[in-house]
Amino acid sequence: MTLLKAQARGIPTPSPSVHSQPYWDGCREERLLFQRCASCGFSALRPSTVCASCRGTSMAWEQSAGFGSLYSWTVVWRPPDPSFSVPYAPAIVRLDEEFWLMSAIIGCQADDLHDGMRVGVMFHPVSDSVTLPYFSPLDPV
């Protein structure tokens, strides 16, 4: 059995752009922010200045409650570089506010992961300036 855990400091950290900075600022304050189009309600896969659905320019930041369902995952045993501790479980989470997020699952065994598993956000600092959102099971597994 192998408990999935958050990574220690030393992993590669993001270089935010002017458009994504609000997202990372939110994470540091343990608030999960996402963009939604004020005109049509569409949420994009990454921060942008234009709505990919209605092509309007009214993308606005909102705060997520941080709950969602597991959509897909992998368990990595050979990391892209040695700074990562294995195993870890990159995952796509479908948040209840109907947006997709790339993250990783922690706080359970790799064998516990299953389609639609209810998960909640857990914030974990990986450097002095970067806090990462991870997700953990909401229900006992």
The footprint of other proteins (CB under 8 A) covers: 7, 11-17, 20, 24, 45-46, 52, 71-82, 84, 88, 90-92, 100-104, 110, 115, 126, 130, 132
Residue 58 C-beta: closest distance to other proteins, Å: 19
Phi, psi of 84 (to 5 degrees): -90, 140
Query: Cα(110)–Cα(88) distance, rounded to whole angstroms?
Result: 8
- Which stretches within the chain are classed as H helix? 21-28
Residue 140 near residue 110 (C-beta atoms within 8 A)? no
Residue 3 C-beta: closest distance to other proteins, Å: 16
Query: Cα(84)–Cα(90) distance, rounded to whole angstroms?
Result: 12
Residue 11 C-beta: closest distance to other proteins, Å: 6
Question: Which residue, 79 or 107, is less far from other proteins as judged by CB?
Answer: 79
Which residue(s) pair with 120 in the sheet? 67, 136
Question: Which residue, 48 or 120, is less far from other proteins as judged by CB?
Answer: 48
Residue 107 C-beta: closest distance to other proteins, Å: 15
Report residue 1 as tokens.
């059995």
Question: Which residue, 91 or 137, is less far from other proteins as judged by CB?
Answer: 91
Question: Which residue, 13 or 136, is less far from other proteins as judged by CB?
Answer: 13
Which residue(s) pair with 118 in the sheet? 69
